[in-house]
Structure 1
Amino acid sequence: MPLSPDQLAEIEAARANPLPTLRATSPGMEAHLYRAHQVLDHGFIRVVDYMGDDAAIVQAARVSYGAGTKHVQNDEGLIRYLMRHWHSTPFEMCEIKLHVKLPVFVARQWIRHRTANVNEYSARYSILDREFYIPAPEHLAAQSVVNNQGRGEVLTGAESARVLEMLKSDANRAYDHYEAMLSQNGQLGLARELARMNLPANIYTQWYWKVDLHNLFHFLRLRADEHAQYEIRVYAQAIADCVRDWVPLAYAAFEDYRMGGVTLSGKAIAVLKRRLAGEVVGQVDSGMSKGEWREFLEVWG
């Protein structure tokens, strides 16, 4: 299970004794604070701290002119303007710290987002638990024939069972050898920092991850997208649910302009203008590559 009964009791005890504060708080995020949201089979995300809210974004943009200027432009309108014109600094005024439990291969994708502060569970110091990510059958798929980094047809029947059995047996055998190699129970064995190299990439690790809202939105734009790998996408979606409650105005603008919008190249704009003028335009005379043209058609038909 993601959290032990003792850990869950600690979380509920912390939530049962709120402390008074002069800081700005977000009622939506307070409802999520400390609680674990399960992801995959053994993973979770939970918010352990945050700073700021929608008002902090507006305050930074107006440089604290105060509530008296709100008649000039309301908060929602200003936040949408900032998002629409790619202003980043006001969104950097909000921060979030997450405790995440995730498979190592997902962590290696995640860590490519370098604009965050990370502290990971140390397998040099501690022994990792026997917990592996084993995909549900509906997420076992063959290699895509059109996308070199994507999935294609879902495996079924004997092929699905064969792959699942190999995943389970290989992970457990690797962990058995890891345990057998460790310096413990009276044997000299290997140091933990060496024995860990035998562990599979689907074993679970944990970390604390702190990031500002601007860079978090960039993470969500890439990892909550329908084309992202399923195993990291479900983490991004769980985080997005918390962010939506934390900064509802900013998240609505993000959904509209980043997740729901598209960026057009000069060639794409030219094709749209030619189409609006009644011209029939194909890939060959569009000036786009086959990949660009395919992506263009996915949006515009």
Structure 2
Amino acid sequence: MTLSADQQAEIDALRAETHQTLRATVPGMEAHLYKAYPVLDHGFVRVVDYMGDDSAICQAARVSYGRGTKSVQNDEGLIRYLMRHWHSTPFEMCELKLHVKLPVFVARQWIRHRTANVNEYSARYSILDREFYIPGPEHLAAQSVVNNQGRGEALTGEEAARVLEYLKADSARAYDHYEEMISDEGQQGLARELARMNLPANIYTQWYWKVDLHNLLHFLRLRADSHAQYEIRVYAEEICKLVADWVPFAYKAFEDYRLGAVTLSSQMVDCLRRMLKGEEVTEENCGMSKREWREFMATIE
């Protein structure tokens, strides 16, 4: 992980300050404020600000649903009820603002979640640092033979060494040309907004990302899943740790009802019922496609 001198100075100054407030604070989250947690080789995640806690979720729910929630005896029970029955609005009452440093190709996946406020480092205005994501040898893998958007077995031997060298050499060469093009020594120098087009997708960018808890949990459900691409999954896993300390009741419910749960189609439910009755259910008589059957069997075995 690499922090600039200015960023480290900002973090040190902010962590040295204390403020009195009447708003809700969470000790676990206060401990995380401004700290940068490393991800990948040069990336990080740090909490810039947060709003709300478990109680804020319950407060919003009781205002919204009134007498309908009075049978729930405590905050944790109410939160689990809300999560279990897919009530979303109360979770929108909490917000989190993160500073994230990440490779551009990961950012392009991340930005697909169009439910947050984002302000990214401007390569039109500033010069990007010479920092590239280079995978560890164990993460250099061949194309999956069963999933068109996934990876399979790790590359080995000469092939792995050759690919790793390509990644390092191409990244360095592209940045050398970038620096040369924008230089104004003995030439006019190409505009930064044009020179950046020659940089590879593994160069690091940074952004501030602010999102409410409902949409954050949706992001984590997809990106912290074992099927998510490794390079974005490690960011999601780091954020999961932060959320667990911020809203522990909500995060536990999320683990139980979203992250650790599965969704069954009506055909899958029908097959499961038939199995429980002792009927032999096979791929031929299940009424599902081969892939659906494979996923169903992986779920129940």
Shorter-chain-normalised TM-score: which range?
A: over 0.9
Distance in 2, matches of 1:20 and 1:8, equals 24
Identity of aligned residues (%): 79
2:188 pairs with 1:188 = yes
Classify the secondary structure of the residue corresponding to 1:82. Answer: helix
Runs ≥4 in structure 1, deviation > 4 angstroms? 69-72
Q: Which amino acid aligns with 1:103?
A: P
Distance in 2, matches of 1:239 and 1:147, equals 26
Distance in 2, matches of 1:35 and 1:186, equals 43
2:288 pairs with 1:288 = yes
Alignment of 1:51-62 (within 5 A): 51-62=51-62
Classify the secondary structure of the residue corresponding to 1:209. Answer: strand
Distance in 2, matches of 1:262 and 1:149, equals 21
In the superposition, relative to structure 1, how do residues 65 and 298 fare at CA in structure 2: closer, same or farther (>3 Å)? closer
> What displacement does 1:88 show?
0.2
Q: 1:164 maps to which residue?
A: 164
2:122 pairs with 1:103 = no
Distance in 1, matches of 2:182 and 2:280, equals 68
Q: Which amino acid aligns with 1:158?
A: E
Q: 2:122 maps to which residue?
A: 122
Distance in 2, matches of 1:206 and 1:57, equals 30
> Where do 5+ consecutive residues of structure 2 fail to align?
none
Distance in 2, matches of 1:65 and 1:223, equals 31
Contact 1:59 1:65 in 2 (8 A): no
Q: 1:79 maps to which residue?
A: 79
Contact 1:33 1:48 in 2 (8 A): yes
> What displacement does 1:41 show?
0.4
Q: 1:8 maps to which residue?
A: 8
Classify the secondary structure of the residue corresponding to 2:153. Answer: strand
Contact 1:142 1:155 in 2 (8 A): yes
Alignment of 1:180-219 (within 5 A): 180-219=180-219
Alignment TM-score, normalising by the size of structure 2: 0.96
Contact 1:183 1:191 in 2 (8 A): no
How many correspondences in the alignment?
Answer: 299
In the superposition, relative to structure 1, how do residues 125 and 70 fare at CA in structure 2: closer, same or farther (>3 Å)? same
Q: Which amino acid aligns with 2:194?
A: L
In the superposition, relative to structure 1, how do residues 254 and 97 fare at CA in structure 2: closer, same or farther (>3 Å)? same
> What displacement does 1:2 show?
1.8
Distance in 2, matches of 1:47 and 1:184, equals 38
- CA-atom RMSD, angstroms? 1.6
Contact 1:48 1:99 in 2 (8 A): yes
Alignment of 1:219-238 (within 5 A): 219-238=219-238
Distance in 1, matches of 2:71 and 2:274, equals 42
Contact 2:45 2:100 in 1 (8 A): yes
Q: Which amino acid aligns with 1:33?
A: L
Classify the secondary structure of the residue corresponding to 2:228. Answer: coil
> What displacement does 1:186 show?
4.2
> What displacement does 1:291 show?
1.1
Q: Which amino acid aligns with 2:128?
A: L
Q: Which amino acid aligns with 2:164?
A: L
> Where do 5+ consecutive residues of structure 1 fail to align?
none
2:14 pairs with 1:17 = no
In the superposition, relative to structure 1, how do residues 64 and 298 fare at CA in structure 2: closer, same or farther (>3 Å)? closer
Residues 254-294 of structure 1 deviation map (CA, whole Å, 9 limit, x = unaligned): 00000111111111110011001100101121111111111
Q: 2:144 maps to which residue?
A: 144
> What displacement does 1:18 show?
1.1
Contact 2:72 2:78 in 1 (8 A): no
> What displacement does 1:12 show?
2.6
> What displacement does 1:4 show?
3.2
Q: Which amino acid aligns with 2:125?
A: Y
Classify the secondary structure of the residue corresponding to 1:31. Answer: helix
Distance in 1, matches of 2:200 and 2:186, equals 26
Range moving further from structure 2, 263-272 or 246-255: 263-272
2:61 pairs with 1:92 = no
> What displacement does 1:184 show?
2.3
Distance in 1, matches of 2:255 and 2:65, equals 28
> What displacement does 1:119 show?
0.6
Contact 1:183 1:192 in 2 (8 A): no
Contact 1:49 1:96 in 2 (8 A): yes
Distance in 1, matches of 2:170 and 2:159, equals 17
